[in-house]
Amino acid sequence: MVTYIIRRLLWSILLLFVVSFITFVMFVLLPSADPAVLRAGRQPTPELIAAIRENLGLDKPWYHQYYVYMRDLILHFDFGYSYQNNIAVRETIFDRLPATASLAFGAAVTWLLIGIPIGIISAIKRGTLLDRGAMGFALLAISAPVYWVGLVSIYLFSEDLGKLAPIFKGSGQYTPFTQNPVEWASALILPWLVLATAFAAIYARFLRANLLDVMGEDYIRTARAKGLGERRVVFRHGLRSAITPIVTIFGLDLGILLGGAILTETVFNIPGIGRLAFDAIQKSDLPIVQGTVLIAAAFVILMNLVVDIIYAFLDPRVRY
Amino acid sequence: MRRVRLSALLVGLVAVLALVAAGCGGSDSEDSGGGGQTQGGAPDKGKQGGDLTFLAAADVDYLDPGQSYYTFGYQVLYASNRPLYMFAPGDEEPQPDLADGEPQISDDKKEITVKIKPGIKYAPPVDREVKTADIKYAFERAFSANVPSGYASSYFADIEGAPAEPTKGVKPISGITTPDDQTIVFKLKRPVAESVAQALVMPITVPVPKEYAEKYDAKAPSEYDQYVAFTGPYMVKNDPKTGKVTGRDPGKRIEMVRNPNWNKDTDFRPAYLDSITIEEGNDDLTVASRRTLSATSPTMCCDSGQPPIPVLSRAISQNKDQLGRVSGGGTRWIALNTTKKPFDNINIRKGVIAGFDRDALRKTRGGDFIGPIAQGFIPPGIPGYEESGAEKGFDGIDYMANPKGDPAVMKKYFDAAKQEGVTPSSGGELLTIATNADPGNQTAQVAQAQLNKMGFKLNYRKVPQDTLYTKFCGVPKSNYVICPNVGWFKDFIDPQSLLEPTFKGAAIKPQGNVNWSLLDNKEIDDAMTQAALAPAGDERSKAWADINKQIVEQAVAIPYVWDDNITLWSKDVDGAMNAYFSGPDFSFTTLK
């Protein structure tokens, strides 16, 4: 197991290199805005642009810029400075991370709490009105874009704009946990629900399908034949097997969200990694884009690794 | 350029949703928005105290007065700093702020002397009185590579000893002298004191204490932006010991509080409010606008210049007192590259303008809610506007006569071009660079449809707005032919600052070029050189209006709107709009 983890970590580092390289090359070679000209203002002289280019290190060949970036990153964990406001990227990212983590973990708990019970009940009550209703709703939730769901929920349920039941805090209300835990939670309830809606629906449908497959297996029939209660058959034997693939997608989903839930963060004005990346892309702020992409990739890779390890515990057949 | 930032990619989607969410219950009023007129001047009387929240999508560009150059940045800057001169809401002429009277211009127009008021102090930790040496240093640092100002070399290059290139480190400028702590003298190479004096309203004149700032300016780029020494009625919250700005978290918020060292007796600003908190990241303008209109605590919105049209149309009919309007002080147009076929032919250009439905272009930005159809390149509120025929435009220019397009006039000019062997298809596929974000994206699509209908074939490419300026339309070598999303807004109240950078041949640059039509006409250039020397007043206005006419006669661009900037506020706010920076003025805004 240890060898496996070390091997995976080494591959992860290589992967991060590749991701950073691709991001860098995309910005340099594709026609994004020129940060030096952007900073130079209204009527820049060529000399002014050249001076800014030199200040930002953009006068060097791209491979040299990349080398300097990676050198600073590896030796000093330094992600560089924003082209826009000259603020350290590392500080900015770590400043934004708690908001994204709050959103992602809260939403993850929410969708698991909603999706798994619905999936189980639908599988057990297959073909009933309950099952059809739940799956129909799930289909609707999957089809609805999160951006739209977010806006509609604001217009229906937010304290300031809600027309139906103005009971939740709406856009721009995020408060850090360290500042006020109650405000933190109350400001995130609506974003959690919105972000969790589609995921819960996917998980419910996925779990239902898996559970139905598993419940037709021979060992389930054997368990029933041995006289085990239905609850024990479902939860002890059926669910344990059916939920294994869920763990895989859960890890990936969580990893992706930790890299920034751009749409939800934008609709609810949550100052997280996703919005930071979105703003940086608009402003061609490569150091910020590079930093957020690397962080996002690192989360996906890390969660993938965690999932693989958990897999071994969940499924006795898996050995590394 | 003080381009109003766009909250790019999401606006289109929001607009659709807004139509459903906001428009359905709104009014279909066809009332004109009163484009071009200011609504929301300085309140007659105010209420001392109160905290205001301003909902914004983006962050300001800089707090550093040497670098700040965008509309939103100016809103913060002019509330927290004191330049030599500034405009109050409703002013047509600037008032002395740091200065203690009008600038004294020598007879030969080559020297400007300004006295400053005593008793104006910096906020902590600097805590000392402002001296003219601080203004001199502010100018010198703006010419350095580490700061560097986006306009110093444009408007102040005529100061004797002004560096032609950004300097390594901050270097003295011989043409700026300070005979005493209250006097500063600018010596000029040419007799252009009138126009340089006009530019003394710009943030470059905000004092910067050398002994405090030079260690930050030694860094490349300068770190003074994070340690600004404020002089205005407000300041961005800072650490009073180190001066480090703690009240700005880019992309999240800016907290402005009262400057404890501000002396009200030296200032004409009432500064009613106790604090202003700018909440950033409100990318969804519909949500932010509606939050503002229904807010129960003092709120203002937005930094985009214009709220979404459904919200705006509803606000105009139902929330008239919650809306401020001021001319954006600029023009939007479609630039035709006069060096490329077929637009190197003037008859083709005139034909295109004649056939264009410019009202349709304006509708993509909000129609008559948003301002009048542009008839030239001097917008309302700028000297030379009235002399240019105001909203009616110049007489006798048939291809500008009908804003909805005139097929007969178009045909007349296309026929004339045909006689010269040029047709709309002469240039093959014309590289057209459009923005990918609404509303500019919609404007470009309307332009594309109209050009196709006229017989032009376009190689139509959509890119982000910043890419459009920095990689294509601002780079003549990129071989663009049409740029449908360009515009230019004033830096100060003078037509020269609008026409010279955008239409003077000598202003064409290999990068960062804003003479997008690449107009290089000696007659116009010479007229500009002459007009630059004209004294402020009727003579100057007339001279620049004549140049405006010459440009329109060259048919190098399709002007389509002089748009207003609109700010919304909650019921408990009495907002003030400042025409100089085309936005709300926090120093004059009050609670009801």
Nearest to B566 by CA among B583, B585, B591: B583
Q: How far apart (Å, rounded) are the C-alpha atoms in residues B485 and B585?
A: 28
Cross-chain CB nearest to B150 (options A41, A47, A151):
A41
**Closest chain A CA to residue B154:** A43
Give the pLDDT of residue B44. 78
As a whole number, mean pLDDT of residues A167-179 equals 93
Which residues of chain B neighbour A86 with C-beta distances below 8 Å? 221, 223, 225-226
Read off the pLDDT of residues B20-53 as tens digits, 9 standing for 90 and up: 333 333 333 333 344 445 677 778 789 999 999 9
Q: How far apart (Å, rounded) are the C-alpha atoms in residues B558 and B376?
A: 9
Is there a contact between B2 and A42 if contact means CB atoms under 8 Å apart?
yes
As a whole number, mean pLDDT of residues A140-150 equals 92
Q: Which residue, among A85, A89, A179, would best test binding to B if mutated, counting the most B CBs under 10 Å from its CB?
A: A85
Is there a contact between B514 and A42 if contact means CB atoms under 8 Å apart?
yes
Give the pLDDT of residue B335. 98
Cross-chain CB nearest to A48 (options B148, B284, B291):
B148
Q: Which residue, among B283, B293, B468, would best test binding to A if mutated, counting the most A CBs under 10 Å from its CB?
A: B283
B317 near B26, Cβ under 8 Å?
yes
Cross-chain CB nearest to B294 (options A95, A161, A282):
A161
A246 near A207, Cβ under 8 Å?
yes
Give the pLDDT of residue A210. 94
Coil, strand, or helix at residue A53?
A: helix
Q: How far apart (Å, rounded) are the C-alpha atoms in residues B162 and B171?
A: 9
Cβ burial, residue B510 (10 Å; 0-12/13-18/19+): exposed
Tell me the residues of chain A between 86 and 105 that have a Cβ less than 8 Å away from chain B.
Answer: 86-87, 92, 95
As a whole number, mean pLDDT of residues A242-265 equals 89
Tell me the residues of chain B between 219 and 238 that have a Cβ less than 8 Å away from chain A.
Answer: 220-221, 223, 225-226
**Closest chain A CA to residue B489:** A42
AA identity, residue B38: T
Is there a contact between A43 and B501 if contact means CB atoms under 8 Å apart?
yes
Is there a contact between A34 and B511 if contact means CB atoms under 8 Å apart?
yes
Q: Chain A within 8 Å of B327 (Cβ-Cβ)? A: no
Structure tokens, B278: 């700018």
- Identify the bridge partners of residue B234 per DSSP, sorted by sequence position: B258
Read off the pLDDT of residues B77-127 as tens digits, 9 standing for 90 and up: 999 999 999 999 988 889 999 999 999 999 999 999 999 999 999 999 999
Length, in residues, of chain A: 320
Is there a contact between A44 and B290 if contact means CB atoms under 8 Å apart?
no
Which residues of chain A neighbour B249 with C-beta distances below 8 Å? 95, 271
The enclosing H or E element of B185 equals strand B183-187
For the stretch B92-97, contacts whose Cβ atoms lie closer than 8 Å and that sit 24 or more positions apart, written own/partner, are: B92/B493, B94/B200, B94/B201, B94/B493, B94/B580, B95/B268, B97/B267, B97/B268
Is there a contact between B466 and A38 if contact means CB atoms under 8 Å apart?
yes
pLDDT band at A156; cut points 50, 70, 90: very high
Coil, strand, or helix at residue B459?
A: strand
B326 near B40, Cβ under 8 Å?
yes
Nearest to A290 by CA among A305, A273, A304, A268: A273
Structure tokens, B84: 């030599």
B155 near B193, Cβ under 8 Å?
no
Q: Chain A within 8 Å of B146 (Cβ-Cβ)? A: yes
Q: How far apart (Å, rounded) are the C-alpha atoms in residues B532 and B543?
A: 9
For the stretch A51-55, contacts whose Cβ atoms lie closer than 8 Å and that sit 24 or more positions apart, written own/partner, are: A51/B145, A51/B148, A51/B165, A51/B166, A52/B145, A52/B148, A52/B221, A54/B145, A55/B145, A55/B146, A55/B220, A55/B221
Give the pLDDT of residue B368. 86
Q: Which residue is listed with tokens 């860094």? A: B219
Q: How far apart (Å, rounded) are the C-alpha atoms in residues B583 and B573?
A: 15
Is there a contact between A171 and B282 if contact means CB atoms under 8 Å apart?
yes
Is there a contact between A45 and B165 if contact means CB atoms under 8 Å apart?
yes
- DSSP code for B485: E
Q: How many CA atoms lie within 13 A of B280 on its CB side?
A: 21
What is the ipTM for the molecules in this complex? 0.83
Tell me the residues of chain A between 166 and 185 that have a Cβ less than 8 Å away from chain B.
Answer: 170-172
- Identify the bridge partners of residue B459 per DSSP, sorted by sequence position: B431
Tell me the residues of chain B between 353 and 382 that have a Cβ less than 8 Å away from chain A.
Answer: none
Structure tokens, B83: 């330049």
Q: How many CA atoms lie within 13 A of A12 on its CB side?
A: 19
Which residues of chain A neighbour B151 with C-beta distances below 8 Å? 41-43
Query: In this model, does residue A31 exceed pLDDT 70?
Result: no
Which residues of chain A neighbour B61 with C-beta distances below 8 Å? 84
Coil, strand, or helix at residue B501?
A: helix
Cross-chain CB nearest to A271 (options B165, B281, B471):
B281
Q: How far apart (Å, rounded) are the C-alpha atoms in residues B225 and B244?
A: 9
Tell me the residues of chain A between 231 and 290 that have a Cβ less than 8 Å away from chain B.
Answer: 266-267, 269-271, 275-276, 278-279, 282-284
Cross-chain CB nearest to B287 (options A46, A48, A154):
A154
In terms of pTM, does the model score above 0.90? no
Give the pLDDT of residue A318. 67
Q: Chain A within 8 Å of B501 (Cβ-Cβ)? A: yes
Q: How far is CA B483 from the centre of its chain?
A: 19
Give the pLDDT of residue B32. 39
Q: How far apart (Å, rounded) are the C-alpha atoms in residues B33 and B583?
A: 16
Structure tokens, B142: 């703006």
Q: Give the number of other CB atoms < 10 A from CB of residue A138.
A: 24
CA-based radius of gyration for chain B? 24
Count of pairs with CB atoms under 8 A, one residue in A, one in B: 164
Q: How far is CA B194 from CA B1, B66, B103, B536, B542, in A?
A: 22, 22, 10, 7, 15
Give the pLDDT of residue B3. 39
Q: How far apart (Å, rounded) are the C-alpha atoms in residues B409 and A317?
A: 82
Cross-chain CB nearest to A282 (options B226, B464, B472):
B464
Give the pLDDT of residue B22. 35
* Residue spans of chain B under pLDDT 70: 1-38
Cβ burial, residue B191 (10 Å; 0-12/13-18/19+): middle
